[in-house]
Structure 1
Amino acid sequence: MNVAEIASKAKQSSYVLAALPGDVKDRALSAMACALRVHADEILEANKVDLSQAERAVLAGEMKPALYERLKLTREKLETVIKGVEDLISLPDPVGKIMAATELDENLTLYKISCPIGLIGVIFEARPDVAPQIAALCVKSGNAAVLKGGRETLHTNTAMLRVLKNALASVPGYPAEALQLIHTREESAQMLALDNLFDLIIPRGGNALIAYVKANTKIPVLGHADGVCHIYVARSADVQMAQNICVDAKTQYPAACNTMETLLIDEAWPEENKRKLLASLTAAGVELYGDERVRALAAVAGPVTDWHTEYGEKKLSVKFVPNVLAAIEHINTYGSHHTDAIITAEHDEAQIFMDLTDSAGVYHNASTRFADGYRYGFGAEVGISTGKTHARGPVGLAGLTIYKYKLYGNGQTVAEYVGPEAKPFTHKKIGGQK
């Protein structure tokens, strides 16, 4: 089948999914989790093939080490993915919720009801754990999906989707055609042209991918271009807390999009504290970049040439700023509106930072690495949105639903409510709404 035929089948399945009972969706999730566990060895072997090819690309200088790290799928990481699928079962069904209810007149009631988006196309790069996460979220939220992974994870994705599709096919009532996989860039381009079938495109990858998708489709796009995350260490910050948080935010998983890429330090913070913080980062293997003031306190690899830099590895830009407002201005100017944090003992200062910093996630005294759908309790995520559409930050179940209005009447016509003898609307909120 070509992409249009694949998408058409998935689109037809989306209409079935929109009315699928929650217990059927949960049985599908249970079947997916079980199948992933049973076929773990098969999936991990496929990942080894991808890793072997990637290793040769790294040695040839054709792939960055950070990208290679993202390709790795360990048994522990796979089990985390499976646990995320299982966690979705216990979450409430996001479809069919009454978001608002208004009595327009007696026996004329308007409801705002959550519903699936429909058919979603997801294009992702070099992340073998993305496919099962997105598939599970789409199952729970009642969406059909066509997935396009990077060529670096071809074997892993193919094995994963084969296992998942077989699992869905085993569940009575679940339309197995709702989950599809395509492979090539040509197919990806064809998908982006099908604005008559797809309701949303979610790209997960670097700037080049996001820019390409946005420039080549009429379909609404949800995603983030990059992750230039900051931590601002205020003058009242506890040095031990700053060390723990900053080392975690930079080194816990350097290739992640929620990793700290720029460290801002208040000029008035004691010099000894600055030395200790920078020393803890270099001791953790972090390469620092900064000006002469930074160089006076720690070894640096060179100056910062671009403050909007996502390293994706153990490299970090460092800058001294005069106060919280300067830190906020820097973040809003050079950041990616992803996730940014302040370390301070002053509550009012934290509130200023969190109110004025224009990012999807703003944290007080916590690592930026918490920006994750699983850690937020969403079960998993399809990605992180830095835009200002219906979903922002980690996009989980709620971000994969939209709404429709349902009006229940008893023979009323608009003519009754216009003209000199017009009946008045009551517009009474139902259910304690204001």
Structure 2
Amino acid sequence: MLKSLQNIFRIAELRQRILFTLMMLAVYRVGCHVPTPGVNGQVLASFFEGTQGTLLGMVSAFTGGALQRMTVFALGIMPYISASIILQLLTVVFEPVQRLSKEGEQGRKVITRWTRYGTVLLSVVQGAGIAVGLQSMNVAGDPVVPNQGIGFVILTVFTLTAGTAFIMWIGEQITERGIGNGISLIIFAGIIANMPSAIVNTIRLLRTGAMPPVTMIFILVLMVLVIMAIVFMERAQRRVPIHYAKRVVGMRNLGGQSSHLPLKINMSGVIPPIFASSIIMFPATVANFVHVEWVQKLAGMMTPSHWLYNVFFVAFIVFFCYFYTAVTFNPVDVAENVKNQGGYIPGVRPGKATSDYLDVVLSRLTFAGAIYVSVVCVLPTMLIGQLNVPFYFGGTSLLIVVGVGMDTASQIESHLISRSYEGFMRGASIKGRRG
């Protein structure tokens, strides 16, 4: 392991990318402790003490505790994810956006710009909702906002919107100049930040006898099994064989080779649970600040321990698994590319038959992947809720942490392999064949 770290930091560009990523994540963590003006932090902390294991506790876990402390990063990256969901849905149902998505780099730049505008708009709406909700909150007669009024609402909206815009900029900078996907790493950092305090609280409960040792052992075994299942399923793939016919180009025979098309079981990665969580979180979080009886009853149902929440959560996960896979993988384009390169799948005609075959295979794989993601995200969370674990680190968190960690490690490995090839070529002279 030490030798691997030495190899990583020996490459100047890779070392700079890793250090830049760590520096950006450190800036994000500092911002998670800068409080929003006008909020009584002690009263707010007392309110959040009873939200562990509920929806607000999960939102606070995804933001690294920023919501619980009501800092400038309280909205987290969820407005950006929600805006991305809306734009990706429009690429399927709205023809102008669909044309933009097919225009290459220029079209992607326009969609990215619209996503930024959408993020700011959603941040303004959510920030206003949170500001109004905070003014109506009190604990034992003590208001969360001592000086209420339109001035507090405007200041809170500007603060939270600016914080979300800054997080979005950090994520884009990490993706462009760092290592890994910036948005995923920000969520990863928010979840990991809660681990030290959760471990300390668990040890304290074990010492006082509030948590039986058998329960703790069961939780540890469950986490290990879930991590093993995640690693296995994320690596699993279906290899569709492809044969290339022989072609004569000039005086040379080309082709006649056999290859394969790798199709992952979980092609959508950690995107479906993140998208599903962001959609469920928004209305339910707003409902927690509205003091109406039926709204409070609905908010109570939309908690991770309630069956209604899990039904909607699984439904959204399945939907986004199919949706995101359809956006990222087009069987028609793949079949056309294979046909243009003189390739074919044994027993399947080139063209439309190939695209139909790939569509059937991909649909079956996506169904298996959706079931796997749903089980990983829902089952551990329900078990942990039944065991009254004092911190939220369920299946969704484990899937995100393990998935993002594997993707980042793969990118680092790709950088190492590319630099190794350069090392093989350094100092060598490539000579042409003599006539």
Flag the structure with higher strand content.
1
Normalised by the length of structure 2, the TM-score is 0.25
- TM-score, normalization by structure 1: 0.25
Higher share of residues assigned helix: 2
